Structures are given as structure tokens and as C-alpha cells.
Amino acid sequence: MKRLALTAAILIASGCPLVAKDHAAEQQLLDSAHKPADLFQRNGDPFDLEIDFIAQFKGSVPGHLSIKWQTKDHWWSKVEFGGFEQILITNGEMVYTSRNFNYTPTEVLNLFSLLSFGGKSPLRLIAQKERDRTQDGISLACVQAEQEIYVRDSHEFCLDLASRDLVSNEWQDQPVANKVVKKRQQFAGYVDFDGKRYPKKLELLENGVVVVSAIVTNLQAAPFDPALLLPPKGAIERRMCPDIKPPRGIKESSPSFAGAGIPAGIIEMSLTILTDGSVGDIRITHSSGQKADQIAIAAARKVKYAPAMCGSEPVVSDLEVRYTFKMN
């Protein structure tokens, strides 16, 4: 299982391999967008980060995220959104998760994606071409980039030419029920902290509509309380294993949407597979509506797995699952 860490997935150019000479300048510009990620990888002093956010869930619902950071291997976070509450702790090779729902709401996952939490992105983006434009009186350099493997997954990153601050990241999700979903992350209000610059305002838009708006209310060096690393009672425990053998299904169960009156769609979820092979936590990462989600969750809970293995020891792990369905 990948090590959990705070990392700027919005700025995912880090680690890209060498590119053709004719795109070297574009790649260098794209790489410069990665610099703010050092906030969560640096060896500086501990810090506190506080964020107020509003997400759209049957109306505008406020939330709050707190981060207490010592190092990339020792940190604590708490998110509250409506009636949902989650605490996530990284303590060396152990990660502990405690939440009061059996899944993380999509709106919270959207926030994490916007803020780049949850680990290094597997994407490796290669710069293709650059175009300059002006937006709200600001001169921008916009770089188009594609995944090294999945060339259809294309992003456009726009940077302020004067400050080199990242202004936006735009891409198109896979169509759901033949509906195109265009997503755009926007960043503004950059401030200096520990020799770097970080945005204080962050937004996620879907088809031009703001679905998450976040404001950094506090970012400052602060002492870290080691007591925060003690796991809450009942927290799910994960051990980080670099050579983990992933879980595999040994008893299948597929959801049946027939007769449910549900249109075509895609449901994506993250399952926590416990050491006995049973399904623990379920997080919906792409929803097709509450009714379809509940059918998929019920089916997922019936699947039996051989657990992930770290050497000869079974360990808790996460597994990504996708269901695609359509009306007959």
C-alpha cells in the first residue's frame, strides 16, 4: 500500500522522466508548478494548517479541516463536514483512520483532491505544448500535459507568468451516462511561508460550477503535541509495507441494478480489506446517486478476499473498485 502523506497532487509534475528537446522548456515550466508541494515534504519546523471550506451537498454545507504537522511520517488531521467527522494519523509506518460514517462523503474526497492529500499521485505528466493567454488582466503561460501511459488523460496547467504561481489545473473526466464532466482547480491569494509560496484560496469547479471552495485561515509554524499520534479507540490500523502483495477476491458478488430505475453510470469506491479478508470501510469516490451507491455498497460487502500480505503477515489494505452499468 502506498505511504500516506500530504503531497500536492494538483502539482503532479514531480518525477517526470526526460522529455524530447522540443518540449524541454514546457516541461521546465510544468515542473516549476510542483514547488509548493515541498510544504508537505520539507524538513522544516512543525506547522499548523487550518482550512474552512464549503461543499455542495443538497445545498451549501460548511466544513473545517485541521492539520498538525511534525514530519511527513508523523502528522495528524481532522475533518468535519455536516455530521461527518474523520481523524487520520500517520505515525511512522502505521496509519490510523477513525470516522463516524462507514464511508467518506464524495464532497470530502473532492476537498482532499483539491488540497492534494492522501499520498503521491501515480500520474506522471509529460508536457506537450504551451500557449500564452491573458485572464483578468494577468498574463498566463498554459502548458498542456498528458499521462505517460494514458495519453487521453490530458491536463492544462496555467501559471502566472510574473510570479510563476499556479493559477489553474483543468481536465476532463470520463463521461458518466454520456455526460461530459469538465473539472477545474483554481488557486489564488498566494502567501509566503518558510521560503515558499502557497495559495490561500482554492476552488474545484465541475462544468463551470463551484463544488468546493476552501480558504486557508491559518498557516504558521507551531509546536507539535506527540499525544496526537495516539490512535483513537476503534481506529482502523494500517501498516505501510513497501513490497505489499495486494488482496485478491476469492468469493465474488456483483451488484444488480435491474429494475431499480437507475440510469447508466459509473460508481467508484475504495474498500478497506481487513486482515481476515472481510470488507471494512467503504468510501465512495465517484457517485451515481444514493440509490445506485447503496446497491453497489451492499454487493461490495459480500465479496470475500484473501488479505494483502506483507511478507508472511496479513495486513489491512485498500482496494479500488469500479462498477459500470447502463439501462437495457
* 89 and 166 inside one domain: yes
Structural domain count of the chain: 2
Residues 128-149 have a mean pLDDT of 80
Does residue 252 form part of some domain? yes
Residues 320-324 have a mean pLDDT of 82
Does residue 159 form part of some domain? yes
Does residue 274 form part of some domain? yes
Give me the pLDDT at residue 38, please: 55
* 320 and 212 inside one domain: no
Going by the DSSP 8-state scheme, the letter that residue 60 receives in this structure is: E
User: Coil, helix or strand for 23?
Assistant: helix
Out of 30-34, 105-109, 144-148, give the one with best mean pLDDT: 105-109
* 112 and 210 inside one domain: yes
Residues 53-76 have a mean pLDDT of 93
Does residue 232 form part of some domain? no
Give me the pLDDT at residue 80, please: 97
- Select the more confidently predicted residue: 212 or 10: 212
Q: Give the CATH number for residue 55.
A: 2.50.20
For 186-232, what is each residue's pLDDT tens digit? 999 999 888 788 899 999 999 999 999 999 999 999 999 999 999 99
Q: Give the CATH number for residue 316.
A: 3.30.2420.10
* 190 and 249 inside one domain: no
Does residue 1 form part of some domain? no
Out of 36-50, 190-204, 314-328, give the one with best mean pLDDT: 190-204
Q: Which of 181, 202, 227 is the last residue of a domain?
A: 227
Q: Which of 177, 194, 227 is the last residue of a domain?
A: 227
pTM for this model (two decimals): 0.73
> Would the pLDDT of 30 be above 90?
no
> For residue 10, what are the CA distances in angstroms to 5, 14, 68, 72, 136?
14, 11, 21, 18, 22
| 58, β-bridge pairs | none
- Pull the grid cell for residue 184: 477545474
* 119 and 199 inside one domain: yes
The per-residue pLDDT of the chain, averaged, comes to 80
The strand pair at 308-310 and 313-315 is best described as: antiparallel
Does residue 234 form part of some domain? no
* 306 and 172 inside one domain: no
> Would the pLDDT of 6 be above 50?
no
* 246 and 223 inside one domain: no
From the number of C-beta atoms within 10 Å of its C-beta (0-12, 13-18, 19+), residue 202 rates as buried
* 133 and 23 inside one domain: yes
Q: Which of 227, 252, 269 is the last residue of a domain?
A: 227
Structural domain boundaries enclosing 42: 9-227
- Select the more confidently predicted residue: 118 or 55: 55
Does residue 3 form part of some domain? no
For the chain, the straight-line distance linking the first and the last C-alpha, in angstroms and rounded, comes to 38
pLDDT band at 291 (very low <50, low <70, confident <90, very high): confident
* 150 and 24 inside one domain: yes
For 230-288, what is each residue's pLDDT tens digit? 999 989 888 888 788 889 888 877 777 766 667 677 888 888 899 999 988 887 877 77
* 194 and 159 inside one domain: yes
* 182 and 46 inside one domain: yes
> Would the pLDDT of 323 be above 70?
yes
User: Coil, helix or strand for 188?
Assistant: strand
* 90 and 211 inside one domain: yes
